[in-house]
Structure 1
């Protein structure tokens, strides 16, 4: 069995929210000359393949690579945190309803996690409750920052408290990467910015005391935890030698929180995966491919399947840890 916790989907047909709301660069999809173009306002943002929105193509790929189930989440550019709270709530509901419909059609192949308008905590909690209680989603995907605010910002604490009470898992995906405007060439925002952005999110939640205040919160981070596992020594050393700068909100060492969160397996290299296992442990890494995008693992789980590991570890990485993070049977 393989459960892929990191896959993205969008509806085949979407409103042109830029025209509807009268501002901004909301994403919508236009089908032109056999191409599907993600439009950002009136500008072309990205051309996507049919497997990004046609579930039948997705299932073919899953069957070809032995993926039993995918966890469906929206594409981060659709978070729309920058929009007005009311409009962000509307787009979130639309995207969540679409994912829930796809799960309902094939519940043996898909699990859905939602998106919420985190620019307004009350509306975010309201939509989270709808996702969990009405749409039967076990979790949400959230960004690594919310309009520049770190995830340690106390304004988010009521959201974490509600997520903990609801048993709602969180999947943190990098977006609006650190330094993005200064490194547009060479695809550096995706190659350099994303790992740094995920590290920013993990460190913010640790140093801000999020895991300390909400110990039952179940959080997973994309892309193997970004740069965090490989810079943990530096992070811990900084905590030790300059507590006046680092330990200002939480006096507990960052290494103490390694068993408080999960990461996905998207590291592309067996030596890196062995190191990640050493740092995070066998029970905190879940298969995640970033399907259907080019930077993902094109054969989900192949890296794990080809590694020499202790008995039972592959099963933990391929599906058991995902069930623990999502709290599903």
Structure 2
């Protein structure tokens, strides 16, 4: 069975260093154990920075034919500084160079300098036309704004024009949200996890998609395509409620679930639960699910086995494993 996974990340160390230098203090107030916690829970450096080596060996071992790779943590795409433009270009060029060494095994999502939406749109076009990338990936908000903000219309319009998706990936909630919602009488490490990969950034990523629906962005861009990880970032399980309650107004032309089922694709992001798979298939259909592992943050030994053993028809299994990605991203089949 051919397998394509689409939420897979790399780090560009020089750009990460510059982002950390320019970003200032983060949303978590550190305590005595926070630095040690971060140091012991970071992704393996070689796996994060190189597409060959450990990553390629892992792909062979678990049956991944193609990874679609994007920049992971501390991405310059969310840097609120003019340097973001050149840093994103550097990241994209570095990713393209590594992909060129194994062109049958990797594809890329562009990192976009959202600080300058016009330049971000230009960079998306360059990455598609010149580097052969198959879409873009964004991390959360920038300066408190999401992609529904009118300033980002050039980015949405360009993604629609190139007919490739934007992966609406989670990012850490900003301090104004993180502290009142997720800080408490627990260590900074728990604050970080609660605000981030345990819950908070998934809720925010789901809100990001809902905002694109409620704002009319998907009416203005009816061919815009979105990817949403972690089984739809809570939203795919909330469609009936959204339809009922938002339906108390006449704000939208369609029910929220209609936008979602027509313009959003969900991925598991390494959360390999048969119950969640069954539910999401029932809610949005197997033709709206694309496989992912979330490497190198999540490393599973059952990437292929999860689908092979799942309660799916052969047609559904093939669609989720590779067929949907091939169509959505324009990746040629075997």
Give me the whole-angstrom Cα distance separating, in 1, the residues matched to 2:74 and 2:305: 28
Correspondence for 1:234: 241
- The change in CA–CA distance for 1:15 and 1:68 in structure 2 (over 3 A counts) is closer
For the pair 1:287 / 2:307, whether they are aligned, the reply is: no
Q: Deviation string for 1:230-287 (max 9, x for gaps)? A: 122222221123x1xxx54x33210212122211123431111101001111111000
The residue matched to 2:218 in structure 1 has which SS? helix
For the pair 1:47 / 2:42, whether they are aligned, the reply is: yes
Give me the whole-angstrom Cα distance separating, in 2, the residues matched to 1:197 and 1:16: 26
For the pair 1:8 / 2:4, whether they are aligned, the reply is: no
Q: Deviation string for 1:72-128 (max 9, x for gaps)? A: 1001421342331x3001110111011101111100110011101112111101211
Count of aligned pairs:
306
Higher relative contact order (CA 8 A, sep 6+): 2
Tell me whether 203-212 or 98-107 shows the greater mean CA deviation: 203-212
- The change in CA–CA distance for 1:15 and 1:306 in structure 2 (over 3 A counts) is closer
Unaligned runs of 5+ in 1: 28-38
Instruction: Indicate if the aligned counterparts of 2:92 and 2:127 stay in contact, CA closer than 8 A.
Output: yes
Deviation at 1:298, TM superposition (A): 4.9
Unaligned runs of 5+ in 2: 27-34
Correspondence for 2:116: 120
Instruction: Spell out the pairing of 1:118-197 with structure 2 (5 A cutoff).
Output: 118-177=114-173, 179-181=177-179, 182-184=181-183, 185=186, 186=190, 187-189=193-195, 190-197=197-204
Match of 1:73 among 54, 63, 70: 70
The residue matched to 1:259 in structure 2 has which SS? helix
Give me the whole-angstrom Cα distance separating, in 2, the residues matched to 1:153 and 1:298: 40
Give me the whole-angstrom Cα distance separating, in 2, the residues matched to 1:45 and 1:17: 22
Instruction: Indicate if the aligned counterparts of 1:26 and 1:78 stay in contact, CA closer than 8 A.
Output: no
Give me the whole-angstrom Cα distance separating, in 1, the residues matched to 2:233 and 2:285: 16
The residue matched to 2:265 in structure 1 has which SS? strand
The residue matched to 1:71 in structure 2 has which SS? strand
Instruction: Indicate if the aligned counterparts of 2:11 and 2:73 stay in contact, CA closer than 8 A.
Output: no
Give me the whole-angstrom Cα distance separating, in 1, the residues matched to 2:16 and 2:240: 47
Give me the whole-angstrom Cα distance separating, in 2, the residues matched to 1:119 and 1:15: 16
Give me the whole-angstrom Cα distance separating, in 2, the residues matched to 1:156 and 1:199: 18
TM, length-normalised to structure 1: 0.85
The residue matched to 2:227 in structure 1 has which SS? strand
Correspondence for 2:258: 256
For the pair 1:56 / 2:53, whether they are aligned, the reply is: yes
Match of 1:211 among 203, 211, 218: 218
Match of 2:281 among 261, 277, 288: 277
TM, length-normalised to structure 2: 0.84
Deviation at 1:130, TM superposition (A): 1.4
For the pair 1:95 / 2:91, whether they are aligned, the reply is: yes
Deviation at 1:196, TM superposition (A): 0.8
Relative to its length, the structure with more helix (as a share) is 2
Deviation at 1:14, TM superposition (A): 5.1
Deviation at 1:170, TM superposition (A): 1.2
The residue matched to 2:23 in structure 1 has which SS? coil
Match of 1:105 among 101, 120, 128: 101
Tell me whether 177-186 or 302-311 shows the greater mean CA deviation: 177-186
Match of 1:316 among 295, 314, 319: 319
